[in-house]
Amino acid sequence: MNNELKVGTTLSWEEVTYRISAIKLDLGDIRLEAKGGLEKTLDRHDFFNKIASGEIQIDGYRPVAIERQWSDRERAEADIRQELVTYFNGLPRDKPWPEKEVLLQRFCEARGHRCPSRRTLNGYVARYAQQGFAGLVPSFSRRGGSGWSSKVEAKEAAREALTELYMRDDKINLTQASYAVADQLKEKGITDGSRCIGRSTVRRVLLSMPKDLVKGARLDSRTYNLWSRQAVKSYEVKQPFERMEIDAKTLDLYYLDAEGNRCTGATLYAMVCARTSYPVAIYVTPGKPSEYGLLQLLQFFFRPKGEDFKQEFGIKTEWVPPCAVRTIVLDNATENASDLALNVVRQLGIQIEYARIARGDDKPHVESFFGALDKRLINLMPGATRSQDARVANRHSKAESEARYTIEDIYRYVVQYVADTYIHEPRVKQGFLYGEPMSIKAAMDRSLAAFMPPPPPAKDLLERLALVPGGVQRKVQHYGIDFKGFQFHSHDLAVLLRERSISELCILHNPEDCREVFAVDPDDKTLIRLKNKTVNMPAISFDEAARLKASYSRPVVDMTGHDYQAAYAKMRAAFASDSRKRSIAANNRAQRRKEKDSRHAELAGRVRPARVDALVEGFDDDVPIKPSPRRGKKT
């Protein structure tokens, strides 16, 4: 990990330029000096908190984005896709699609490439417009390749060799078994001996076989479990924040929502340091695991940890300050592979590693934390179902009646347990590592006394990165922008179009408010507010607007803002009449919907246009913009 903080680094604080004159790791102090003999000394904890809050800005410091290493096959495929997109964009726009498809097939056949479908091609065009060449690079390394499909006979031979040799003779290891498999492949004529099945493939074949066969014929359960643990790839983590393990789990308890309804399925996110086992970030949400939860977990870690933080959660211990992270370990869940989450993590200069499927020992620190949290806190809360305990039968009815905590209460209690109890208890593993009784808090303090981690990113960087990947490209028409069934326009956009010739714009939107969207200025990247041209539109989401359109009996093109208001009032009345007889599952769905609404409300609070709407004196942009009359169909 590169140490970005060093003596001589310049920074700005309270409109004064300082230079770091000394860094005292043993005391945890950073000394600053400015022109005129002004000197100040800050504690490391306060120094990093001020960087995270934006009070201190380091000159020229910005996390270096991590670029994914492309293989030769991935780069070659991206080159062909780029040529295909360039050729497709050069075709006349008024040419029918069947004629374009014939030309595209000829183009691909000339290069020995399979012609993609229309939907795939449109995806190439959109990603190339947003991300450039990097958006066209495939991820062959994450797909697993075609190895399994081309090794059917080889795997069958491996099963026979393992059954005949490995299961009967305890003197044969996996390497010798792989040699025996290679000999059988050569004898059967499956391969010529130049290409054979590897040791890792033999290991996967062995793990796919019935465990009773392995244990009964060769190994006892203790030896087999020991062999499984030894198969885990070992990592040597020397510094804190060098390797962080992230995981999510569903809390096994009932909780109450704001109206007092009982719900289940709360999700807990945790990020644990692999050096000291310190849970540096915690987040609890009523929704299912999603990319938003991962972003909230990172925001928790990068937020300032001063007195406001301690008062918010009611803790006494100083939480570890925010800083830069080198590597995070994720599981193979869908939310961890989304473009939004991966883009944010890479832009923060963090490398990503994925754990193996169904192998919790690839993330032992965070799994150990979850186990201790269940045993010491979650299972003792009112409303805990303790479904993993075989001695507890039919616990749900009693747990439902005992539920009394909300999501906010659970979140606060988890943080309090971690800060004031969990990290202060002596840990056996830390004792082996340091040679004396040691707690997680003491291990982190000792590590930071000899190591200065890089500073955290700027305050608004994470929020801005969470917005940019959500943008979509839309063509600019003479009447404005078409977006999700509505037309949007504003005076700012009209002025911009008169000044420049623009065919497409990047659109940011709040999914919970269909009354306005935001266009990104291609020059200074400011946001231009575009208002919905449907007059008197209610404050509803785009999904709700789509449902109201589906329930409208007359043609949708004739639907006005008053029709939306009437249909929305009927929908709210029907929802209110059914709210008293909802089940637990319905309560869970409603709570997740509220979580999504609050998430989008927070997103709307971040998106604030930097451009003034009324550029011309006397122009009032709040006046409803009436849509232009629709043209009649030609007969």
409: confidence class by pLDDT, cuts 50, 70, 90: very high
Q: How far apart are CA 63 and CA 343, in angstroms?
A: 13
Residues in contact with 363: Cβ distance below 8 Å, sequence separation at least 6, in sequence order: 245, 247, 329, 331, 355
Q: What is the mean pLDDT of residues 390-407?
A: 79
Q: Which of the residue ranges 205-209, 593-597, 610-614 would you say has the lowest mean pLDDT?
A: 610-614
Q: How far from 411 is each of 19, 89, 308, 434, CA to CA, in Å?
A: 40, 51, 16, 32
Model confidence at 309: pLDDT above 70:
yes
Cβ distance 312 to 305 under 8 Å? no
280: confidence class by pLDDT, cuts 50, 70, 90: very high
- DSSP, collapsed to helix, strand or coil, labels residue 502 as coil
- What pLDDT is stored for residue 312 in this prediction? 92
- What pLDDT is stored for residue 601 in this prediction? 61
- What pLDDT is stored for residue 432 in this prediction? 73
Q: pLDDT (tens digit, 9 = 90+) per residue, 87-120?
A: 998 888 888 998 999 999 999 998 888 899 988 8
- The domain segmentation of the chain, as residue ranges, is 10-58, 72-139, 152-230, 243-461, 471-606
Cβ distance 401 to 384 under 8 Å? no
- DSSP, collapsed to helix, strand or coil, labels residue 174 as helix
Cβ distance 519 to 493 under 8 Å? yes
- What pLDDT is stored for residue 338 in this prediction? 67
Q: What is the mean pLDDT of residues 289-301?
A: 85
In the structure encoding, which two tokens stand for residue 586, read together? 């319905």
Q: How far apart are CA 539 and CA 545, in angstroms?
A: 10
Amino acid at 627: P
- What pLDDT is stored for residue 66 in this prediction? 63
Closest by CA to 285, choosing from 156, 410, 174, is 410
Among 217-221, 392-396, 450-454, top mean pLDDT goes to: 450-454
Q: What is the DSSP string of 604-623?
A: HHH---SS-S--STT--TTS
399: confidence class by pLDDT, cuts 50, 70, 90: confident
68: confidence class by pLDDT, cuts 50, 70, 90: low
633: confidence class by pLDDT, cuts 50, 70, 90: low
Helix, strand, coil shares of the chain, percent, nearest 5, are 45, 15, 40
Bridge partners (DSSP) listed for residue 29: 24, 43
Cβ distance 40 to 11 under 8 Å? no
Model confidence at 416: pLDDT above 90:
yes
Q: What is the mean pLDDT of residues 402-423?
A: 93
* DSSP designation for 240: T
Residues in contact with 283: Cβ distance below 8 Å, sequence separation at least 6, in sequence order: 268, 269, 293, 296, 297, 300, 411
Phi and psi dihedrals of 315, rounded to 5?
A: -105, 160
Q: What is the mean pLDDT of residues 192-208?
A: 68
Q: How far apart are CA 519 and CA 490, in angstroms?
A: 10
Strands 262-263 and 56-58: unpaired
- What pLDDT is stored for residue 126 in this prediction? 85
Average pLDDT, the chain: 78
Cβ distance 511 to 543 under 8 Å? yes
Cβ distance 377 to 252 under 8 Å? no
- What pLDDT is stored for residue 403 in this prediction? 87
H-helix or E-strand spanning residue 505: strand 504-509
Cβ distance 3 to 454 under 8 Å? yes
Length of the chain in terms of residues written: 635
Model confidence at 373: pLDDT above 90:
yes
Model confidence at 285: pLDDT above 80:
yes
Q: How far apart are CA 327 and CA 320, in angstroms?
A: 18
Q: How far apart are CA 168 and CA 162, in angstroms?
A: 9
Q: pLDDT (tens digit, 9 = 90+) per residue, 228-258?
A: 554 544 557 888 898 899 999 999 898 988 7
Model confidence at 322: pLDDT above 50:
yes
- What pLDDT is stored for residue 294 in this prediction? 85
- What pLDDT is stored for residue 622 in this prediction? 47
Cβ distance 13 to 51 under 8 Å? no
Closest by CA to 530, choosing from 602, 607, 469, is 607
Closest by CA to 624, choosing from 559, 536, 505, 565, is 536
% of the chain surpassing 70 pLDDT: 75
Q: How far from 368 is each of 106, 211, 416, 608, CA to CA, in Å?
A: 57, 25, 18, 42
Provide the whole-model pTM: 0.60
Q: pLDDT (tens digit, 9 = 90+) per residue, 591-611?
A: 766 676 666 566 555 554 544
Q: Which of the residue ranges 100-104, 219-223, 543-547 would you say has the lowest mean pLDDT?
A: 219-223
Q: pLDDT (tens digit, 9 = 90+) per residue, 341-356?
A: 777 787 788 888 887 6
CATH superfamily of 243-461: Ribonuclease H-like superfamily/Ribonuclease H (3.30.420.10)
Torsion of CA 444, 445, 448, 450, to 10 degrees: -120
Strands 504-509 and 16-24: unpaired
178: confidence class by pLDDT, cuts 50, 70, 90: confident
- What pLDDT is stored for residue 440 in this prediction? 92
